[in-house]
Structure 1
Amino acid sequence: MVGIIIASHGEFANGILQSGSMIFGEQKDVKAVTLKPSEGPDDIKGKLEEAVASFENQDEVLFLVDLWGGTPFNQVNNLFEAHKDKWAIVAGLNLPMLIEAYASRMSMDSARDIAAHIIETGVEGIKVRPEELQPAEKSAPAVAQPSNAGTPGKFEYVLARIDSRLLHGQVATAWTKTTNPTRIIVVSDNVAHDDLRKSMIQQAAPSGVKAHVVPIDQMIKLAKDDKHFGGQRALLLFETPQDALRAIEGGVPLKTVNVGSMSHSVGKVQPNTVLAFDQDDIDTFKKLEKDGVSFDVRKVPTDSKGDMDAILRKAQEELNKQKNA
């Protein structure tokens, strides 16, 4: 795997490393190297050498640096000279670029290939509101569509996820990169009737992916008459397990549901750090299981899968204790 070193003036490298872990999960062979106000070039050079030495594969290293021409960049560049046939440096780091680098390591084994690939994502991540302040995009060559795009066919459901936060960073980056949808569909009666939330979801869609918000009954109709969606890869997002159950029992053909996040509220218990349940939630998951649905309990693709049965048992025990207290 390509090793990644994040180098910066001050604590920026540590901060963006933490942000990347929150969105994409903890990463192997990634190090943050910082230049403190009291330190000089030799100090950060030593830290860089130590970071490289800690990697399993020291032949393929990608350096993501905050500023071209600054001390961190200059010291990285000095080390780079002896390895420029393999190593690569990208300056101007931002969070979309870092997430893209993490995703790219899953399929690319060359630091130079990853460096070339992530630049566009870094640029696309810079956006402004009001929109009229955004520079006009340069015309680009048309992107080839799948050979069956627009021809009669059916949805391919690449992921169905229960997440009270719906379309947020972990979905827009980690899960989108892993599943490669062409459409993200939020299936929710509540959101479909909330113009502000609907607008925010549409704006949060990653580049090249269309985001839609539809009521549950509309999704059921689409699932039963999806002959016009040939070549479309759908990622479905449900706010609650109850919405997912209603959609599945109505005819949306889902066999596996990813359980990512369920927010805590009064009366709920929290058997782990990201999932909270009341009795209705537990009963709903049992109904889903009875309907033949399996559960993939993960925040991000790189997490290990949780045991839903064990999580539900613990939640039930805590609810029983709460009831008898």
Structure 2
Amino acid sequence: MVGIIIASHGEFANGILQSGSMIFGEQKDVKAVTLKPSEGPDDIKGKLEAAVATFENQDEVLFLVDLWGGTPFNQVNNLFEAHKDTWAIVSGLNLPMLIEAYASRMSMDSARDIAAHILETGVEGIKIRPEELQPKPKAAAKANAQPSNAGAPGKLEYVLARIDSRLLHGQVATTWTKTTNPTRIIVVSDNVAHDELRTNMIKQAAPSGVKAHVVPINQMIKLAKDDKHFGGQRALLLFETPQDALKAIEGGVPIKTLNIGSMSHSVGKVQPNKVLAFDQDDIDTFGKLKADGVTFDVRKVPADSKENMDAILQKAQNELNKQKKA
């Protein structure tokens, strides 16, 4: 695996490392190196060398630095000269670039290939509101955003179906999008479809090159049966509740596996782990989904280990039973 070193003036490297972990999960062979106000070039050089020494593969190292020409960059560049055939440096680090680097390590084993690949993502991550201030995308880029057979006869292909009370947020827009490569993100919810503000926010949160839609459940059922207009379209479905997912599946949306990301806590619910909360209706709904042949993939991000949904539901049921007796 390609090792990654994040280097910066001050605590920026530590902060963005923590942000990346929150979105993509903890990462192996990634180190943050900081230059403090009281330190000089030799200090950060020593830190860089020590960080590289911890990597399993020291031949393939990608350096992500904050500023071209600054002291962190200059010291990285000095070390780079002896390894320029395999190492790579990218400056102007932002969070979309870091997330893309994490995702790229899953399929690329060259620091130089990853460096070339993440540049576009770093640039695309810079957006402006109001939107009229944003430069217009080039025609070629817009054409490449959709597969060449988009709109051809065929049904939607489902690359992920997820229950997440937060719907479209950082973990979905970056991590899951990078690993499943959808052309469309579809929020399936009657409540959200009738909320203009939430609908607009979701559409604005879509990652570059992916269209976001919000549709009522019955509309999603109709779309799933349409075999004339969705050839080449890869859909990532987001449900706010298990009840919405059950209604869609029983209506004919062909989902065999549900990724369980988060279910927010509210009055009357129990919380058997950090991100999932249930009431009796939720537990009963998951029982119906299981009876319908649906399997559950309990993970916040792809890098997480899968949790046992049966054990989580049993713990939730036990806690609800205790509440009833109290």
TM-score category of the 2 structures, normalised to the smaller one: over 0.9
Distance in 2 (alpha carbons) for counterparts of 1:203 and 1:267? 33
Q: Which runs of 5+ in 2 are unaligned?
A: none
Q: 2:146–2:183: 8 Å Cα contact kept in structure 1?
A: no
Distance in 1 (alpha carbons) for counterparts of 2:120 and 2:144? 15
Distance in 2 (alpha carbons) for counterparts of 1:227 and 1:157? 16
Structure 2 match to 1:236: 237
- Once the two structures are TM-superposed, the CA of residue 269 in structure 1 deviates from its matched residue by 0.9
Structure 2 match to 1:110: 110
- Once the two structures are TM-superposed, the CA of residue 140 in structure 1 deviates from its matched residue by 3.4
Q: 2:218–2:248: 8 Å Cα contact kept in structure 1?
A: yes
- Once the two structures are TM-superposed, the CA of residue 145 in structure 1 deviates from its matched residue by 5.5
Q: 2:145–2:209: 8 Å Cα contact kept in structure 1?
A: no
Structure 2 match to 1:88: 88
Distance in 1 (alpha carbons) for counterparts of 2:101 and 2:145? 24
- Once the two structures are TM-superposed, the CA of residue 137 in structure 1 deviates from its matched residue by 3.7
Distance in 2 (alpha carbons) for counterparts of 1:242 and 1:226? 26
- Once the two structures are TM-superposed, the CA of residue 226 in structure 1 deviates from its matched residue by 3.5
Distance in 1 (alpha carbons) for counterparts of 2:297 and 2:145? 33
Q: How does 1:44-59 map to 2 (within 5 A)?
A: 44-59=44-59
- Once the two structures are TM-superposed, the CA of residue 318 in structure 1 deviates from its matched residue by 1.1
- Once the two structures are TM-superposed, the CA of residue 139 in structure 1 deviates from its matched residue by 4.6
Letter in 2 for 1:298: R
Structure 2 match to 1:181: 182
Distance in 2 (alpha carbons) for counterparts of 1:174 and 1:194? 26
Summarize the Cα distance change of 1:144–1:279 in structure 2 as closer, same or farther, 3 Å threshold. Answer: closer
2:160 partner SS: strand
Q: 2:87–2:111: 8 Å Cα contact kept in structure 1?
A: yes
Distance in 1 (alpha carbons) for counterparts of 2:145 and 2:95? 28
Summarize the Cα distance change of 1:275–1:221 in structure 2 as closer, same or farther, 3 Å threshold. Answer: same
Distance in 2 (alpha carbons) for counterparts of 1:154 and 1:259? 24
**Most deviating of 315-324 and 46-55:** 315-324
CA RMSD of aligned residues (A): 1.2
Q: 2:156–2:234: 8 Å Cα contact kept in structure 1?
A: yes
Distance in 2 (alpha carbons) for counterparts of 1:244 and 1:159? 12
Structure 2 match to 1:313: 314
- Once the two structures are TM-superposed, the CA of residue 174 in structure 1 deviates from its matched residue by 0.5
- Once the two structures are TM-superposed, the CA of residue 69 in structure 1 deviates from its matched residue by 0.8
Q: How does 1:43-82 map to 2 (within 5 A)?
A: 43-82=43-82
Q: 2:167–2:187: 8 Å Cα contact kept in structure 1?
A: yes
Structure 2 match to 1:30: 30
- Once the two structures are TM-superposed, the CA of residue 146 in structure 1 deviates from its matched residue by 3.9
CA offset digits 1:154-194 (Å, max 9, x no partner) = 11111000000001111111101111111110000010000
Q: 2:147–2:233: 8 Å Cα contact kept in structure 1?
A: no
Paired residues in the alignment total 325
1:15 partner SS: helix
Structure 1 match to 2:165: 164
Q: 2:2–2:60: 8 Å Cα contact kept in structure 1?
A: yes
- Once the two structures are TM-superposed, the CA of residue 39 in structure 1 deviates from its matched residue by 1.1
CA offset digits 1:25-84 (Å, max 9, x no partner) = 111100001111111111111110010000000000000001111111111011001000
Among all aligned residue pairs of Structure 1 and Structure 2, give the percentage whose two residues are the same amino acid. 90
**Most deviating of 196-205 and 138-147:** 138-147
The answer on 1:224 being equivalent to 2:225 is yes
Structure 1 match to 2:152: 151
Distance in 2 (alpha carbons) for counterparts of 1:26 and 1:149? 36
Q: How does 1:202-281 map to 2 (within 5 A)?
A: 202-281=203-282
2:144 partner SS: coil
- Once the two structures are TM-superposed, the CA of residue 144 in structure 1 deviates from its matched residue by 8.3
Letter in 2 for 1:292: G
1:171 partner SS: helix
Summarize the Cα distance change of 1:222–1:137 in structure 2 as closer, same or farther, 3 Å threshold. Answer: closer
Q: How does 1:188-203 map to 2 (within 5 A)?
A: 188-203=189-204
Distance in 1 (alpha carbons) for counterparts of 2:254 and 2:269? 29
